[in-house]
Amino acid sequence: MKRLTFIAVAVATLSTLLAPASGQAQDQYPSKTIRFVVPYPPGGPTDLMARLLQSEMQTRLGVTVIVDNKGGAGGNTGSGEVAKTSPADGYTLLLAASGPMAVNATLFRSMPFNPLTDLAPVIQISSFPLVLEVNPKLGVKTVKELIAVAKNNKPELSFASAGNGTPQHLAGEIFNTQMDIKMAHIPYRGAGPALNDLLGGQVNVMFDILGSSLQYIQAGKLTPLAVTSAKRSPALPNVPTMAEAGVPGYEITGWHGIAVRSGTPAPVIEKLNSTFNAIFKDPKFRERWEALGTPVVGGTAAQFGELIKSESIRLGKVVKAAGVTVD
């Protein structure tokens, strides 16, 4: 009896000693370099978001933040690395995009991770429309003119995207389906390379994030035909919505957020969430952020989690209706 009592006391004492150490480690977070994984190549809108956040995170968290571009497989490569191989300690963050988080599970025949179970949401950071744009050399200025050229198939039209499963890809496939046309999809390893080829005339059409294309539209290097949101964009007030341009019921938007590997301690996620919300409250940062073509979002980790779940269902239905799959 005395031996059992001694063991019980020893276990209780050990638990008491270990509990504060664990709590203290979380209270000291972060205490080393944070890796910020972007699942697309440098130069695109997702990468630009990470670069804007990088300096703010370093200032507010007091540690070095390294942006690590891991493009490939429509965002699955980088996202899967965070979901499956990174430690669940908050020192590897994912810039989570709507493609790998909500579209790819339906689009791809196999997935290297499950975004609903392998990743933990931290915060939503963007919500943006796309703009349907063409190279001016194509000679079309309206959506109806584009459809007429596509149906005539002379010249054969192609549309660029940031990769399979991205909002740019999905937007083009839905347009093909609704208008009964066959523009060829040309996937790139990110929006930057796709936009470069659109500007160069190697491809004809692109649905792109407004923020990354706006400067080229304003310079006359790209012709905007419509925006994919339900309402017109304040940045392009004279450009109609897809519905106004003759594609009834067409609406698609993309979004980004921050995620970490599932199992990351709740206090760490709370610390990250409060840090990002504080960044978005800064008026100067908000101005720079909104120049990318997205309003400031923010909110709780739970709210972002609900968005991922609901969008997985909604966009999954869209993918199935369009009949698009990727091996």
Q: Are strands 205-209 and 34-38 parallel, antiparallel or unpaired?
A: unpaired
CATH topology of domain 129-227: D-Maltodextrin-Binding Protein; domain 2 (3.40.190)
Instruction: Please give the pLDDT value at position 322.
Output: 76
Q: Which token pair is 58? A: 């370093």
Domain 32-127+253-322 superfamily per CATH: Bordetella uptake gene, domain 1 (3.40.190.150)
Chain centroid to Cα 90, Å, comes to: 19
Mean pLDDT of the chain: 89
What does pTM read for this prediction? 0.82
Residue spans of the domains in the chain: they are 32-127+253-322, 129-227
pLDDT band at 293 (very low <50, low <70, confident <90, very high): confident
Q: Which amino acid is at 107?
A: L
Q: Answer yes or no: is pLDDT of 141 > 60.
A: yes
pLDDT band at 292 (very low <50, low <70, confident <90, very high): confident
Tell me how far apart the alpha carbons of residues 295 and 179 are, in angstroms, rounded to a whole number. Answer: 30
Do domains 32-127+253-322 and 129-227 share one topology? The answer is yes
Instruction: Please give the pLDDT value at position 26.
Output: 55
Q: What is the pLDDT of residues 215-231, one digit of tens each?
A: 999 999 999 999 999 99
- Residue with the bigger pLDDT between 307 and 322: it is 307
Q: Are 190 and 47 contacting, i.e. CB atoms less than 8 angstroms apart?
A: yes
| 210-238 burial code (b ≥16 CB/10 A, e <16) | bbbbbebbeeeebbbbbbbbeebbebbee
Q: What is the pLDDT of residues 232-249, one digit of tens each?
A: 988 899 999 999 999 998
* Overall average pLDDT of the 24-35 stretch: 83
Q: Are 118 and 84 contacting, i.e. CB atoms less than 8 angstroms apart?
A: yes
Q: Answer yes or no: is pLDDT of 157 > 70.
A: yes
pLDDT band at 166 (very low <50, low <70, confident <90, very high): confident
